[in-house]
């Protein structure tokens, strides 16, 4: 390489058939990029929109952040908040005969109709599991028939066992308490697809809230430098705890 080529501090190998396309840029190139980015972040319009987003996102997330913060504590210390004895209720429900037959057969219940009836008359909620059906038929007569399924929701579960001969459903419902409901909502457990999307969107807005906060600090050089030191300190403390205190 010639000296003039070295002074430019840039080496490019262009890929042509068997040649590699590699580009090495100098520190000055990255410094220029950093200055350009820094200047863009200091732009008045950028700062104005960052401030607006930071304020409005923080207010919209106020109760959400409090919710996830408090439930983070209750999840971490379940022995202090979750009651040991769950509230268990047992009940029976008589089912009409037409629920046990459908277009598929005399002893093949219509699952949609059966679930709708259980939800309405059995006062059940949550997400139902797949229906397990067992039948024993001889000469067109039902000798034995059982249907079982579960319902699960935040802090809640219910088991349903149906005897097709007696046409009665035995329902056992378990309530684990308010804290268990909040904990399950925190984890998105048995909470449905809409709640999962709510958690995802909330997490995205929290990230945006943090980034706009950093953007607002960029023009304030002294404050920004101090903030970066605290960021490094917090990160190192977290890493140290993980490396030396976590079994």
pLDDT digits (tens, 9 = 90+) for 52-107: 999 999 999 999 999 999 999 999 998 888 877 889 999 999 999 888 887 776 77
Q: Is 236 among the domain residues?
A: no
Q: Are residues 28 and 51 in the same domain?
A: no
Helix axes 192-217, 44-60, angle to 10 degrees: 140
Q: Is 234 among the domain residues?
A: no
- Number of independent structural domains in the chain: 3
Q: Are residues 130 and 209 in the same domain?
A: no
Residue 244: per-residue pLDDT? 94
Last residue of a domain, one of 147, 175, 203: 175
Beta-bridge mates of residue 1: none
The DSSP code for 99 is G
Residue 27: per-residue pLDDT? 53
Bigger pLDDT: 47 or 75? 75
Domain that holds residue 199: 43-86+192-213
Residue 81: per-residue pLDDT? 85
Q: Are residues 73 and 137 in the same domain?
A: no
Q: Are residues 151 and 97 in the same domain?
A: yes
Give mean pLDDT, residues 189-202: 94
Measure CA of the first residue to CA of the last residue in the chain; give whole Å.
Answer: 55
Q: Is 231 among the domain residues?
A: no
Task: Look at residue 41 and tell me whether its pLDDT is greater than 90.
Answer: no
CB 155 within 8 A of CB 175: yes
Q: Is 77 among the domain residues?
A: yes
Instruction: Say how many CA atoms lie within 13 Å of 209 toward its Cβ.
Output: 15
Q: Are residues 168 and 108 in the same domain?
A: yes
pLDDT band at residue 37 under the 50/70/90 scheme: low
Average pLDDT, the chain: 83
Last residue of a domain, one of 146, 175, 204: 175
Q: Are residues 161 and 133 in the same domain?
A: yes
| Nearest CA among 186, 215, 168 for reference residue 71 | 186
Q: How far apart are CA 184 and CA 71, in angstroms?
A: 9
Task: Look at residue 7 and tell me whether its pLDDT is greater than 50.
Answer: no
Residue 148: per-residue pLDDT? 93
Q: Is 170 among the domain residues?
A: yes
Task: Look at residue 21 and tell me whether its pLDDT is greater than 50.
Answer: no
pLDDT band at residue 149 under the 50/70/90 scheme: very high
Q: Is the dihedral of CA 45, 50, 55, 57 positive or negative?
A: positive
Q: Are residues 10 and 35 in the same domain?
A: yes
Tokens 């943090």 correspond to what residue? 210
Residue 98: per-residue pLDDT? 85
Q: Are residues 157 and 133 in the same domain?
A: yes
pLDDT digits (tens, 9 = 90+) for 113-148: 899 999 888 888 889 999 898 888 777 788 888 999
Q: Are residues 100 and 153 in the same domain?
A: yes
Residue 31: per-residue pLDDT? 53
């Amino acid at each position: 390489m010639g000296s003039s080529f070295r002074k430019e501090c840039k080496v490019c190998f262009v890929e042509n058939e068997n040649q590699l396309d590699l580009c090495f840029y100098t520190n000055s190139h990255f410094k220029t990029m950093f200055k350009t980015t820094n200047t863009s972040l200091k732009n008045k319009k950028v700062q104005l929109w960052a401030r607006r987003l930071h304020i409005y996102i923080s207010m919209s997330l106020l109760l959400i952040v409090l919710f996830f913060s408090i439930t983070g504590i209750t999840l971490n210390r379940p022995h202090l908040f979750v009651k040991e004895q769950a509230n268990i209720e047992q009940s029976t429900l008589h089912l009409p005969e037409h629920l046990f037959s459908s277009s598929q057969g005399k002893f093949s219940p219509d699952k949609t109709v059966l679930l709708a009836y259980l939800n309405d008359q059995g006062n059940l909620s949550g997400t139902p599991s797949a229906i397990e059906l067992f039948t024993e038929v001889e000469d067109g007569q039902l000798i034995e028939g059982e249907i079982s399924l579960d319902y699960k929701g935040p802090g809640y579960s219910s088991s349903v066992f149906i005897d097709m001969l007696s046409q009665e459903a035995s329902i056992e419902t378990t309530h684990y308490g308010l804290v268990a409901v909040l904990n399950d909502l925190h984890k998105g457990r048995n909470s449905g697809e809409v709640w999962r999307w709510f958690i995802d969107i909330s997490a995205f807005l929290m990230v945006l809230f943090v980034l706009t906060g950093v953007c607002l600090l960029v023009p304030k050089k002294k404050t920004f430098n101090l903030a970066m030191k605290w960021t490094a300190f917090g990160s190192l403390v977290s890493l140290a705890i993980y490396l030396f205190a976590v079994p």
